[in-house]
Each structure stands twice: as structure tokens, then as C-alpha cells.
Chains A and B, each alone.
Chain A
Amino acid sequence: MSGGARYSWRGMLAAAMLVLAASPVFALDGNEILKKVDRNLEPEAYEMYRKLINIEPDGRRKEFVLYSVKKGRDKIVALFLSPPSDAGRATLRLGDNMWLYIPNVGKPVRITSLQSVVGGVFNNADILRVDYSVEYNAESVVEEKDSYLLNLKAKTGEVAYDRLKMWVDKKVLLPVKIEAYAASGLLIKTLHFKEIKDFGGGIRRPATVETDSPLYKGHRSVMLYSQLKKRDFPDEVFTLNYLSRVEDLRK
């Protein structure tokens, strides 16, 4: 009796797996894909260097170099290393809270995700990006030929973009393109992820993110990644009082 029951459960399990395999729509969990995308893009705790390039329609450029450290799902600090006019500025994000520290002013001031400390197409939410799965829920997944299209909705009104359309490469589970929309449905910007590179330590991700925006016609912004590696930091690093000392974390 018990043996018969066991076989019967096995049969049901096999049948269920067959059904799931034959119907990918039921098998796909957008939020699970999103969590994998998060971890494939960056480890949960890391340090990295980025160069931001704003390119104007006439080809003129302005470049910034940032050193960033992150811990957990929503703690991140970015320090400007270049150009000299911005060197020493540091931005901190703890969940929905963001601050900017300017050495001359000396006092961290609260900033918002939609402002931009660098000007151009990138705003503070792009520079201090936390895990996508912290800010967004996947409302639906559409399976395309080489990619999954995730339709993401912001969990709260504090998030910079109300909706994202994220195309994720099926094989490597990394984003290929993201369209960011305002609550009104207006397309704010499009991010193109390019040049997958091996950063070592098991981190393999796009080294270039190009951004354009219909709000800044003819302008482009590019973010380049370098020396992205796992590193753990004490919690005290992610505080207002530490913003003037972030430089000391660099080795």
C-alpha cells in the first residue's frame, strides 16, 4: 500500500514537472530572475571604480571617476576621485535616504534620487544604485528568443523610476537593455549594457553601460567599470560621519 502510494506521488511529481517544462510561463519567476541578475551584476558586498562620461551633441565630454563600496542590499557610498573640482565629494545611500558631502561645505545634505550630482543623463539613483530586487517587483515575464523581458514596478513612490522594462540575456542572466519610465508612462532613459568582462573572483558582467534619454536629445552618458571585487566593510562606513573619510578605505 505504502509502495503504491510512493509510486503514485512520483508519478504526480513527474507529471507536474512535465507540465511545468512544457509551459515556461508558469516556470518563470520574474523576481527570482531579478535576484539572480542582481547577484550576477555585483556581489552583495563589493568595492569598484567607475568612470562616468557625459558626451554632449558636439562631442564635448566631461568625465568623473568614482570609487564605490556597497554592503547588504541597500547600503552604498560613492566617492569622487576626479576631476579635481569634484574630488572628495561623497554620496551615501541607506535605503531611500541619500546624502551628499562636499568637502568645502563640510556638512552632508540630503539629496534626492532624481537629482544629479554630476549633471547630464545619470542621476543620483543611477550612481547609487542598490539591488533592483530591493526597489522593484516583477509584474510579468515575457520569454523572447534570446532574452526574458521583465516588466518591473517600483515597490514605493520613493523610487526614481516608476517602471522598468528589463531585457535579460537568457544564457548569462545579465541585463542587455533597460528602459526606465516615469509614473506618467514617459520614457526617461534607456540603458544599454555592453562588453561582458571577467573581473576575476567569479564576477563576469558588462563593463560598459551606455545611457541616452529623450529628455536630453543628442546627449549620451557612459559608465565604465573597473576593479570590481568582493570586499566586506564594517557598518560604520555607511554613516554621515564617515563621509569625509571614505578615501581611507582605498588600498
Chain B
Amino acid sequence: MLPRALAAAVLLLAVVTAHAAEQFSFDAAEFQRKPVEFGGYLEFKQNHFGLNQDGALYLLNNYNQPRESLDQSTLTFKPSGKFRYGGGSLNFRAHLEGDWETREFQRTTRFDELYLSYKPDPGLTVDAGKVSLKWGKGYAWSPVAFVERTKDPNDPDLAREGFTLLTADWIRNFDGPLRTVAFTPVVLPASPDYNPDFGAGRHVNIAAKLYLLYHDTDIDLLFLNNGSRSRRYGVDFSRNITSNLEVHGELARIEDVQRQAITAAGEGVPVRENATSYLAGLRYLTERDTTWILEYYRNGPGLSETDMRNFVQFVDTAYDGYLATGNDAQLLRAASLGRGGYARPNPGRNYLYLRVSQKEPFDILYLTPALTAIANADDRSTSIAPELLYTGYTNIELRLRAIFLNGGAGTEFGEKQNSRRYEVQARLYF
């Protein structure tokens, strides 16, 4: 009886031990590198917009079809991949999007990136094709991002479309206070057929970035020659002051900025001037795992309060004219001016950005609530966005967000098309 009991106990112990071993087994062989890689995500987003029926941008977009709200369903597929051969690779990231909005259906198909990469050694890489470069240290804005599409401060982490260019990366490391030097030259041709949205005319644009890690501080010196865009110089830095406090900044000098100011009567006034943009920010992590990101942004070539007020007054006058006569020519002209600057995100001169996020509150793993506030410091209008992000299901990211725009007549956020926005987003990675 005793031997049987012992045998049973040994067997039980062996089973338990085997189970425990199986519980934590890991063999890296299944993660060996493959010559072809494929990944990406599928995203579904549902938006409900509460429209701001007094807003200038609402009037421009809805003057002939008044409504109180809009709903939009968006399905986005972003596959990405890499094919390796020898020291080179072909890389791509595609963007396929369908937007079902109350008024219409729109679709977008493009490559955000598609380029050949050659790495003869770890200190040198050459990329040719459509590449999305990311310059600058700012979180919400980056005035030194000379060869990029503009970042959306509401979604600064979103992947953006690149430009077709030739670039290289040369890296050297040293001992001593200067630990790293990296040089990144860029050649970006632009014409009406090639990179048409980079700027006007036919130009071969030359840009460069010199990166230094000096005394534990990241420093970039940046340059873009006079071509499709006017000549500009920049410098940025980022540094940890303590283990939980990072400070960063950017400064850009832009020569010969051209913009169209308008009078309240809608008369265009071309303005040419040199402008300086800068940004100062910090990122602070508290003992309770709350992250604070605070930034001040001075948009040198931005619109003054007077410009904004004139634009709004012009739209109001044009709308009154449309109501009286049915002629929308002035509204269409105002819409054209809007696309040229007034209706773009954050066209003003002085902004404040604050984002507070709390990692895993109340011991709820993978949950991150956050609150983002963007304020136009001149007219004191604001955008306040609370959100919840949950990443607890493997390969699934869920986000709930609301955006409330506040501001009086004639202010930036008070004249937007929406006053409220509610968003549900689910992303499945593969």
C-alpha cells in the first residue's frame, strides 16, 4: 500500500513539475529572423461630431446643407513589410482607408513608405524611395521638421506619409563627452509630378541633419536649402535633468516666409518676412506613474489674432451674402483661403500643450487614462480631450476619446466645424 502511495505521489510530483516547467518554457529558435517579414494593423474607428453651427469653418463646409451632427466610420488597413537580400532590403508601409461619412464615401490608397535600403556596414545606411523622416524633439509640434508632412497635435504619434527622396545615415561613436556623431543628408526632388505637395516649382531640395550626443544631451543641427520651400535652419535638443524629468526644445529660423493675409473685406494682402519658430517642453514622471508632457510652441509664420478675426468676419459676410442672394462665390473664395492656412490645424502664433497620462491606475494593468489640452495662448480658446486606452488583450488596442472645443466668436477653437467629437477606436495588430 505504502509503495503504491509513494509511486502515486512521485507521479503527481512529476506531473506538477512538468506542468510548471512547461508553464515557463522558452526556446528562441521559433523567433529566428526570416528573409521576408509582414505585419501591420487593421483599425476601425467610429466618430460622432457635434457640429458648431456658429463656426466659420462649419459655414464654409455646410452652408448649403445645414446639419447638427455628422457620423463617420473609418476602416484603415496598414500592412507593412520587409524583404531582405544580402546587405539590402525593400521596405514598405501601405495605407488603405475607407471613410463612410454622413454625406459621402471616400477612400485612400497609398504607400506611406516604399524604399530600398542598403547597409554596407553598421555605420552607414543609404535609403532611396518614399521615406518618412522624423526630425525634431517636440511631442505635439516640431518646427524643425523641415522635410515632413505636418504633425497633427491631436494624434502626434500617428504614422505619416513620407516623401520620395534619397538619404543616408553615417554614424560614428567615440569615447569621452562627445559619444555619437551622426550625419543625415537628404536629396528631395519636387515638381508638379513628383512630391507635388512638398512645395511649388521644380527644385532639387537639399536638407541635412547633424546629430550629436554630447554630455548626455541629444543635439541636432538642421538645414533645408532654398527651393520648393524657403531656406531654413534649425537646432533642437533633449536631455534628462533627473531620471524622471526630461526637457527638450527646438528653434527654427525660416527665411522669406510667404503667406496671404486678408482684410475683413476679403482682400488678399501678400506678406513676406523672415520668421522664427520655437518650442520648449518637458516630460515629467511622478512616483505614482503619472506622465506630464508640457510644451509651449511659438509658430513664427502663424496668423495673428487680427488675421483670424478678419478671416472670420469675411466668412460671416460671405455667408450673409449667400443667404441674401444665393451666390456662393465669396464663400468658395473663403474656403480657398482656409485651405491655404486659416483652416489648418493650429494656424495661430502661440500655443500651449499639456498631456497628463496615468499608467495602470488602481492596479488595473494595461489601462492608461489621459487628458490632453491644447490652448491657443492668444485668444485663449481650447481643445480638451479625455481618453482611455486599454492594451490588455494581446494584439488589440482599444481607445475611447472625446474632444471638447471651447472658445468664443472669432477664436480658433470657437470657429471650428465641430464643438464636440466622440471617438471609439479598435486596432488589431498582426
Q: Nearest 5 CB-CB pairs, A to B? A: A235-B173, A49-B28, A106-B134, A107-B134, A224-B26
Which residues of chain B are within 8 angstroms of A23 by Cβ–Cβ distance? Answer: none
- In the complex, B344 has a CB within 8 A of chain A: no
Q: Are B243 and A105 in contact, with the CB atoms below 8 A?
A: no
In the complex with contacts A95-B216, A119-B365, A241-B171 CB distance below 8 A: yes
Interface residues of B in 120-176 (CB under 8 A from A): 121-123, 125, 132-137, 139, 157-159, 169, 171-173
Which residues of chain B are within 8 angstroms of A84 by Cβ–Cβ distance? Answer: 39, 41, 395, 429-430
B-side interface residues, number (CB < 8 Å): 64
Q: Are A53 and B173 in contact, with the CB atoms below 8 A?
A: no
- In the complex, A2 has a CB within 8 A of chain B: no
Partner of B244, one of A50, A106, A112, A222: A112
- In the complex, A11 has a CB within 8 A of chain B: no
A selection of 15 A-B contacts at a CB cut-off of 8 Å is A49-B28, A49-B31, A60-B392, A65-B28, A67-B31, A85-B394, A85-B397, A96-B243, A115-B289, A216-B363, A234-B121, A236-B123, A239-B171, A241-B211, A245-B122
Interface residues of A in 192-237 (CB under 8 A from B): 208, 216-217, 219, 222, 224-227, 233-237
- In the complex, B32 has a CB within 8 A of chain A: yes
Question: B50-58, B177-185, B225-233, B261-269: which lies at the A interface?
Answer: B177-185
Task: Provide the bound-state CA to CA distance between A248 and B122, in Å.
Answer: 9
In the complex with contacts A84-B430, A94-B213, A105-B134 CB distance below 8 A: yes
Task: Provide the bound-state CA to CA distance between A85 and B365, in Å.
Answer: 16
Task: Provide the bound-state CA to CA distance between A225 and B39, in Å.
Answer: 25
Q: Are A248 and B119 in contact, with the CB atoms below 8 A?
A: yes
Partner of A236, one of B137, B173, B246: B173
Q: Are A104 and B157 in contact, with the CB atoms below 8 A?
A: yes
Which residues of chain B are within 8 angstroms of A247 by Cβ–Cβ distance? Answer: 33
- In the complex, B366 has a CB within 8 A of chain A: yes
- In the complex, A158 has a CB within 8 A of chain B: yes
Within the complex, what minimum Cβ distance (angstroms) separates A245 from chain B? 7
Q: Are A241 and B184 in contact, with the CB atoms below 8 A?
A: yes
Q: Are B395 and A94 in contact, with the CB atoms below 8 A?
A: no
Interface size class on chain A is: 35 or more
Which residues of chain B are within 8 angstroms of A239 by Cβ–Cβ distance? Answer: 171, 173, 180, 182, 213
In the complex with contacts A107-B136, A236-B172, A239-B173, A119-B366 CB distance below 8 A: yes
Task: Provide the bound-state CA to CA distance between A245 and B87, in Å.
Answer: 12
- In the complex, B399 has a CB within 8 A of chain A: no
- In the complex, B425 has a CB within 8 A of chain A: no
B131 to A, closest residue via Cβ: A106
Q: Are A85 and B125 in contact, with the CB atoms below 8 A?
A: no
Task: Provide the bound-state CA to CA distance between A109 and B132, in Å.
Answer: 17
User: Chain A 134-156 against B: per-residue CB contact (8 Å), 1 yes, 0 no?
Assistant: 00000000000000000000000
Q: Are A251 and B33 in contact, with the CB atoms below 8 A?
A: yes
Interface residues of B in 180-198 (CB under 8 A from A): 180, 182, 184
Q: Are A105 and B157 in contact, with the CB atoms below 8 A?
A: yes
Task: Provide the bound-state CA to CA distance between A242 and B293, in Å.
Answer: 26
- In the complex, A83 has a CB within 8 A of chain B: yes
Q: Are B27 and A110 in contact, with the CB atoms below 8 A?
A: no
- In the complex, B285 has a CB within 8 A of chain A: yes
Q: Are B244 and A226 in contact, with the CB atoms below 8 A?
A: no
- In the complex, A185 has a CB within 8 A of chain B: no
Within the complex, what minimum Cβ distance (angstroms) separates A35 from chain B? 21
